A and B are shown apart, each in its own frame.
Chain A
Amino acid sequence: MSFGMLGLLGLGVYLTVLVGVAEVARRARRDASPGDHFLAGRELGVFVLFLTLYATAYSGNSLLGYPGEAYRRGFSWIMATGFMMSIIVAFHLLVPRLRPVAVSRGFVTPGDWVRYRFGSESGGRALVMGVAVLMTAALANFLFAQLKAMGELAAQVTGGIVPYELGIVILAGMVLFYETLGGMRAVAWTDAAQALLMMVGLATLMAWLLGSTGGVGALTESIRVVRPEAVRVPDARECLNWASTIVLLGLASVVYPQAIQRVYAASSARTLRRSLALMTFMPLTTTLVVTLIGLAAIPRFANLGAVEADRVLPLLLGEWATAGPLFAVAAVLVFLGALAAIMSTADSVLLSLGSQVAGDLLGRSRDDASTTALGKRIAGAVMVTMAGLAMIARDITLWGLIELKMELLIQCVPAFLIALHWRGLRARPAFAGLVVGAVLVVAGVVFDLKRVGGLHVGVIGLALNVAIGLIGSVLDRGGRAEYGQLGELGAEPGSLHDS
């Protein structure tokens, strides 16, 4: 049997299993409320919560984009292990304060927090909308990247029997199917299965790579021979970019809508603490591995172009598959693991997108079953649009998409992290800061200015955003007077804000 046919068979088995999981999840649902559909009735336990957090965090970007970036940059991409870990560190700023309020008030979307905290203030509605627009734009970008990665992998694993475009249609259709049928339960359960597949796949590939290169020391030496600059101590610009990326990814990922919804969906605070404690080790077993995979490609494939570099994982797997029948089966497993990671991120993004557009942008009730139905229709429409775009715009690097998404998302940080820790933050200056930060990011895209001396434009935008929010809040007496009139927020205990 050819590698392509073997891949097609594996893909067929995998998709059939997903259909089964979706049906079980559909039967497990309690009602059609948004809380049950979008948050699985808020009853995710440690094991499933950990695996769904893991599968959601490690996406097509991580599995295809990160090896590609390691190939392009060399050893300095070890920064990826640090910035993926910084996400779980930065969650300390969010989870202990947001979780109790979210549970008590029955939040479903990230916008529920912003509406609760700022909704009745002058400028509060604008801030709710601003945050929702940025988060939706970031999620759409994220979905686009997943679809692009899905198409690439489907074509690779089937040896071209399923072309890029058809791969996108089949896999996007499957994600839409099980997400619509089973909601967060189907997403979380498939995530759990996908996470296990991904872990096994990556560990197997790593073992083969290290075995075939003669270990880490031999790998370093072979990289030094073909590209000495990849091994040398990075310059000040690269170091600044390293720090900037840790800040960018750490803070922006904390306000990922799908991550916030998993904070809401945990069955208890204890469950959440344990899941996050486990999650902190995952960059060492995943990001580090994909970084080494990208580095291992440097001596094997000379002079890949910027976009081509995103295909180093499929290229390595293709090479592995030719080593013998057993290796071909193992390569198919790794391919499916990577595909699983991508689909698990796409489903989470899609679920979050539907709930957010219906609840935050269109202002639908979070207790009404019609909101669930609307969220599903929106998810379908967005999926079709993004799939169409992914078919047309194939030549964009995945890391470029990640940076853009994060630079937009990070502008929402003050509305969450500062608002949770400082009672004085006002809606109007927070909104002004968000607009200035977002405009700066968009201007950076328009004028093709990604970084200033290694520092991301989005991080500079965040600094301006925070400064405007803080200074404006101190000066915004009108907003403060109205804040004092707020019944619900005024009754908040001092523990939520400073007192």
Chain B
Amino acid sequence: MKMPRRWRRRVRTGLLWAIAALYVISIPWYRTAGGVPSVIGGLPDWVAVALGCYAVVAVLNAIAWLVAEIPERDEDDTS
């Protein structure tokens, strides 16, 4: 079933905001600089958080592209 145009726009906008938030979280600006990290999945914890954020960004961005509307031609093109 095809999603209505308005909903597609809302979903895409929401996804792009979520992606922006994930980018902010991915950078460890809120951690103590020079701190010794614990290890998660074999990686330093701040690296694991960044990587987790980027993995989720990939999924959300793929969905955002699949629901994006790209007209085939310009609206005033009569050719």
Q: Do A and B come from one complex?
A: yes
Counting CB contacts under 8 A, is B21 at the interface? Answer: no
List, in ascending order, chain A residues with CB within 8 A of B46's CB. Answer: 75, 233-234
Partner of B29, one of A89, A101, A231, A236: A236
Question: How many Å lie between the Cα of A216 and that of B48 in the bound state?
Answer: 11
How far apart sit A357 and B29, CA to CA, in the bound complex (Å)? Answer: 43
Q: By CB atoms of chain A within 10 A, which of B54, B65, B71 has the most?
A: B65
Q: A216 contacts which of B41, B68, B75 (Cβ < 8 Å)? A: B41
* Alpha-carbon gap, A101 to B75, bound state (A): 9
Indicate if A453 sits at the interface (CB-CB under 8 A).
no
- A299 to B22: give the CA distance in the assembly, Å: 31
Render A469-499 as a binary contact track against B, CB cut-off 8 A, 1 for contact: 0000000000000000000000111011000
Which parts of A356-401 form the interface with B (CB within 8 Å)? Answer: none
A105 to B73, CA, bound (A): 9
Pick from B50, B54, B63, B65: contact of A284, CB under 8 Å: B54
29 contacts between A and B (CB under 8 A): A75-B46, A78-B51, A81-B50, A82-B23, A85-B57, A85-B58, A89-B16, A92-B65, A92-B68, A96-B68, A100-B73, A100-B75, A103-B74, A104-B73, A216-B41, A217-B41, A232-B34, A232-B35, A232-B36, A233-B28, A233-B32, A233-B46, A235-B34, A236-B29, A239-B28, A280-B58, A281-B58, A281-B62, A492-B76
Known: A104-B77, A232-B37. 5 other contacts (CB 8 A): A86-B23, A217-B39, A239-B29, A277-B66, A495-B75
- For B42-79 the 0/1 string (1 means CB < 8 A from A) is 11101100110111011001111110111111111101
Closest to A217 in B: B42
Name the CB-closest residue of A to B51.
A78
Compute how far the CA of A101 lies from the CA of B44 in the bound complex, rounded to whole angstroms. Answer: 47
List of B residues within 8 angstroms of A272 by Cβ: 70
Q: Which residues of B contact A (CB under 8 A)?
A: 12, 16, 19, 23, 26-29, 31-37, 39, 41-44, 46-47, 50-51, 53-55, 57-58, 61-66, 68-77, 79
Contact A288 B51 (CB under 8 A): yes
Q: Are A92 and B16 in contact (CB under 8 A)?
A: yes
B31 → A minimal CB distance (Å): 4
User: Which residues in B have their C-beta under 8 angstroms from that of A89?
Assistant: 16, 19, 57, 61
B66 contacts across to A, CB distance below 8 A? 273-274, 277
Q: What is the bound-complex CA distance between A95 and B69, given in angstroms?
A: 10
- B59 → A minimal CB distance (Å): 8
- Is A215's beta carbon under 8 Å from chain B? yes
- Asked if B65 and A269 make an inter-chain contact with CB atoms under 8 angstroms apart, the answer reads no
For residue A315, give the distance in angstroms from its CB to the closest CB of chain B.
Answer: 24
Chain B residues positioned under 8 Å from A239 (CB to CB): 27-29
B27 engages A243 (CB within 8 Å): yes
Complex contacts, B50 vs chain A, CB 8 Å: 78-79, 81-82
- Contacting B at CB under 8 A, from A287-303, are 288
Q: Is the CB of A242 closer than 8 A to any CB of chain B?
A: yes
Which residues of chain B come closer than 8 Å to A235, judged between CB atoms? 33-34
Report which residue of B31, B54, B55 has the largest number of chain A beta carbons within 10 angstroms of its beta carbon: B54
| B35 (CB) vs chain A CBs: closest residue | A233
Q: Tell me the residues in window 257-281 of chain A with beta carbons closer than 8 Å to chain B beta carbons.
A: 268-269, 272-274, 276-278, 280-281
**Inter-subunit contact B29/A219 (CB<8 Å):** no
Contact of B62 with A491 in the complex, beta carbons under 8 Å: no
CB < 8 Å neighbour of B64 from A79, A92, A217, A284: A92
Chain A residues lying within 8 Å of B19, measured Cβ to Cβ, are: 89
Q: Nearest chain B CB to A136's CB is how many angstroms away?
A: 27
